[in-house]
A and B are shown apart, each in its own frame.
Chain A
Amino acid sequence: MVVFDKPHALADVPLHYCPGCTHGIVHRLVAEVLDELGIEGKAIGVAPVGCSVMAYDYFNCDMIEAAHGRAPAVATGVKRADPDEHIVFTYQGDGDLASIGMAETVHAAARNENITIIFINNAIYGMTGGQMAPTSLPNQVTQTSPYGRDVKACGFPIRVCELLSELDGPEYLERVTVNNVKNIRNAKKAIKKAFQNQIDKKGFSLIEVLSSCPTNWGMTPQKALEWIDEKMIPYYPLGVYKDRSAKEEK
């Protein structure tokens, strides 16, 4: 009896991610949801620029590689091309979504574009070797903030869920993490809901996943998962920031 199998939507290829990186977990959760909702054949994913740039090789559904930060605009085009048939998701990191692509993110949310966004927040630019991200914490040491992020010079981190929650547009915003089994189960539930919302034509759903980057944080994988609890969650509290349908049902 098979009790644990690879999701069909996840390609059977080696992932290039560093040891201890949580991209692999989140990829798997997305693939499990595509399987469970039976939507792999309708799904079109949009990969970002950053560590997950090659996500187009890792999902078995149709995939598009977008320019840096432009995934929500590309996804808008794909969704509008056939709103009844296409299930469209983007998978983006913090530099992609919250820095160079902030305008595309905010406006897709404001339009309540009926797409699903998986937002990986690991507080650093991974692919280019560990530079300061729009979500790097105050005093966080990175390659481009070698003395720690000085908020007087570089400004403060951006809390994406809180920022978008002020808009009337978006349907669903939740921040989760994947640093332990309980949190992974919560993350899966949120991701599933974000896709179900799209199937139900409810509109824009964004799941922010607090993720680890042991390589660029300079930590062991275990220490990196602890750092999420110790440093990231206090600045980026987990929880549902918007759930319009639930609110309306009350």
Chain B
Amino acid sequence: MSTVTWITVRGLFGRRRFLLLLPLPVLLVGLAVLSRGLGVAPADWGPPVLVGLGLAVVLPVVALIVGTGVLGAEIDDGTVVHVLTTPLPRWQIVLPKLAVAAGVTAVSVAVPLFAAGLLADSVRLGVALAVAASVGALAYSALFVAASLLTRRPVLLGLVYVLIWEGLLSNVVTGTRVLSIQHYVIALADRLAPTNLLSTTVSVAVAAVMTALIIITATFLSIDRLRSFSVAGETS
């Protein structure tokens, strides 16, 4: 484990905001177990729980908490200067932090989604959701790590993207789905385990290309912004 990874993991799990990761995955599994236990048809509870809660809320919100936590929190409290006053090439700082964010998000979301998919349909759907969510975790993390370096309010920017762009606009204006990670994840999961429970107008090809594009662009942007990292100076 690199030193940057070690500090990032210690920092992430040492902050109280880490506890925010627990309720949403627990709620997801709890609702799936409850629906299955009550004998509700998967066609009725599957879309709202798997997509409406799992992919539209749990995945992006957990990614937002973790993605802005690995770098944004260090920028907020100034500890990032400790890592930056070393001769490490900036990609050696961004990539481990991105890996930690994507890994923690993937584990936090893929496991409950696998369980929910299994309860709704099959192991195949569970695996498909877990794999697609992991890819989505990487894309969201890249986006939110970049947001930490682009703005002083990355959580606000992330919430606007998740709630307004993906939650509201992509349901009203279908064209905006081309720029929605949530719909890429749905398209990828549906490709891995075709089912009526998942539906999107975004093709798998578009989803794959756009996901790769977002990950690469956001990562390069993060590295470049970190090279030009400025600390706030006195102005009075």
Do A and B actually bind?
no
Residue positions of A touching B, CB distance < 8 A: none
